[in-house]
Amino acid sequence: MILFSNPRTRRRRLGVGAATAGLLAALLTAQPAAAIPDPGDGPVAEKEVSDSTRAEVRKALKDGEIPGKDEIVHSDNIQHLANIPKDALPGINSDLAFQGRYAFAGNYDGFRIFDISKPTAPKTVAQVLCPGSQNDISVSGDLLFLSTDSSRSDSSCNSTTQPATEKSSWEGMKVFDISDKRNPRYVAAVETACGSHTHTLVPERKNVYVYVSSYSPNATYPDCQPPHDGISVIKVPRKAPEKAAVVGFPVLFPGEGPDGGGNPGSPTNPGVSKTTGCHDITVLADKGLAAGACMGDGILFSIKDPEHPKVIDRVQDNVNFAFWHSATFNQKANKVVFTDELGGGGAATCNAEIGPDRGADGIYDIVGKGDKRKLVFRSYFKIPRHQADTENCVAHNGSLIPVKGKDLMVQAWYQGGVSVWDFTDSAHPKEIAYFDRGPLTTDTISSGGAWSAYYYNGYIYANEMARGFDVLKIDDRRTNPARWVHLRELNVQTQPDYFD
């Protein structure tokens, strides 16, 4: 591990031209990379676009239909307070977690800790070099958790890439002691089947359970064999994190055959990902409830016994959803928002050709009681601004904005920017604020845009994949009551009871 400490630190009009059919087809049917499963937040290699697409983007820029390269546009009720560019970690910025006056920002090369006590001027406290896609991050007390979903030569922070076909390769969870924020200390590593694409904490007083989501098994991968139809559960003793270990692999999609019982995907359901594990899980620990976004399936399950989760209901959308990516409960736990990561985050899907229903959020009501609860579809939500055909754009990570009696959410959309929207009426969601930048480039599609956008203690924090760490402030009568809600800790996939 290498530690870097204390460095100094218009609204769019609709109507941008659709992507060329050849480009879009290539992006939406891309096959998984050997060591980093994709779709699902894989790093996006630069993709050349056609001359006609470049001409369309140039025309849209000239006509003012989209902002200029890197130009910032936003609604009147959002203010951009700060941007902290990348420093010692040049990789792709990923997820965020919060504790007290600190923000913890994942990056494909490690993680960075910010002091956000003054949101207008965040300061870097530490940067830790520890490569491993995608370094999904969370914190609990003195522990920080980091996901590794790329095949490495070993579990150290000095490891190198190594084919997943080699038995000695390592992927899984890393645990750090962050009692000294300026000097995080690597204390444990736990290998998990198919690595750890994302993870979710189920914290208890003495232990922290970690639900590890991973997918895309292959018969040639010794540590990632099919069927991979469940999640790994790790138990981490708070006072002895070095004893962290896998305590189970609950099967969520039981079925016969090598692929288990999840969505079979194509060709049975064309354009839909085959379910071979979960991408992301969100828990409401105090209610013993969880929602899983699992490639071709969305699930609701009970976690009253955290080592033995039990599926309550399961839904599919084989018309408009390609890849179930993440889940967010509302405060009353009678709704779930699922996101669809069409194109794996590497395609221009916020345009007229794709339309308003694909690559969108799906809003589901939870009806019934106990183990008889059901997920009932109500509507889709997608940002109402078309993006350039060189901007990767799709529904991504977001969080609730805690206002009693309202269902408000802030959400990242990659190069679609940051959107604040209201789904109090499940059937008629609407955007109420936005923040966006113009395209990274007008010649290629490359990784960029907000990976995560979360509301924490009065401000919105976004981890921009290419441009750095952003701080935003929303001033709106609908969201202003949330300013009075303050948390000691926030891992968005471990949703708190804001008003307990």
CATH number of the domain to which 453 belongs: 2.130.10.10
pLDDT per residue over 6-48, tens digit each? 333 233 333 333 333 333 333 343 332 222 334 456 555 666 6
* Distance, CA of 435 to CA of 169 (rounded, Å): 41
Q: What is the pLDDT of residue 38?
A: 41
* Distance, CA of 130 to CA of 347 (rounded, Å): 28
Question: What would the mean pLDDT of 181-205 be, rounded to a whole number?
Answer: 98
Q: What is the DSSP string of 422-467?
A: E-SSTTS-EEEEEEEE--S-SSEE-S-SEEEEEEETTEEEEEETTT
pLDDT per residue over 301-347, tens digit each? 999 999 999 999 999 999 999 999 999 999 999 999 999 999 999 99
Q: What is the pLDDT of residue 48?
A: 66
pLDDT cut 90: percent of the chain above it: 82
Residue 480 in domain = yes
* Distance, CA of 253 to CA of 269 (rounded, Å): 17
Mean of pLDDT over the chain: 90
Residue 285 in domain = yes
Q: What residue has token string 């490359």? A: 446
Q: How confident is the model at residue 172 (pLDDT cuts 50, 70, 90)?
A: very high
Output the six-digit token pair for 164: 């997943």
Residue 135 in domain = yes
Residue 385 in domain = yes
CA 153 to each of CA 161, 376, 445: distance values in angstroms, whole numbers, following the listed order: 6, 45, 30
Residue 495 in domain = no
For residue 330, what are the domain limits?
2-490
Question: What would the mean pLDDT of 238-262 be, rounded to a whole number?
Answer: 92
Q: What is the pLDDT of residue 4?
A: 53
Residue 450 in domain = yes
7 Cβ contact partners less than 8 Å away, ≥ 6 residues apart: 87, 88, 124, 127
Contact 53, 422 (CB under 8 A): no
Closest to 27 measured CA to CA, from 432, 301, 350: 350
Q: How confident is the model at residue 57 (pLDDT cuts 50, 70, 90)?
A: low
Task: Specify the pTM.
Answer: 0.91
Contact 197, 40 (CB under 8 A): yes
The residue ranking higher by pLDDT, 49 or 170, is: 170
Out of 108-112, 240-244, 257-261, 365-369, pick the least confident: 257-261
* Distance, CA of 277 to CA of 230 (rounded, Å): 5
Question: Which residue type does 105 have?
Answer: A
Q: What is the pLDDT of residue 32?
A: 28
Q: What is the H or E stretch that residue 74 is in?
A: strand 72-74
| Statement: residue 137 has pLDDT above 70 | yes
Contact 108, 101 (CB under 8 A): no
Residue 282 in domain = yes
CA 331 to each of CA 247, 405, 436, 493: distance values in angstroms, whole numbers, following the listed order: 30, 9, 27, 13
Q: What residue has token string 């003054």? A: 118
pLDDT per residue over 448-465, tens digit each? 999 999 999 999 999 999
Q: What is the pLDDT of residue 39?
A: 45
Q: What is the pLDDT of residue 174?
A: 98
Sign of CA dihedral 223, 224, 227, 228: positive
What count of Cα atoms within 13 Å lies in the side-chain half-sphere of residue 165?
Answer: 4
Q: How confident is the model at residue 62 (pLDDT cuts 50, 70, 90)?
A: low
Q: Output Rg (C-alpha) for the chain, integer angstroms.
A: 21
Residue 301 in domain = yes
Output the six-digit token pair for 440: 């990274």
Q: What is the pLDDT of residue 12?
A: 38
* Distance, CA of 71 to CA of 435 (rounded, Å): 11
What is the number of structural domains in the chain?
1
pLDDT per residue over 271-305, tens digit each? 999 999 999 999 999 999 999 999 999 999 999 99
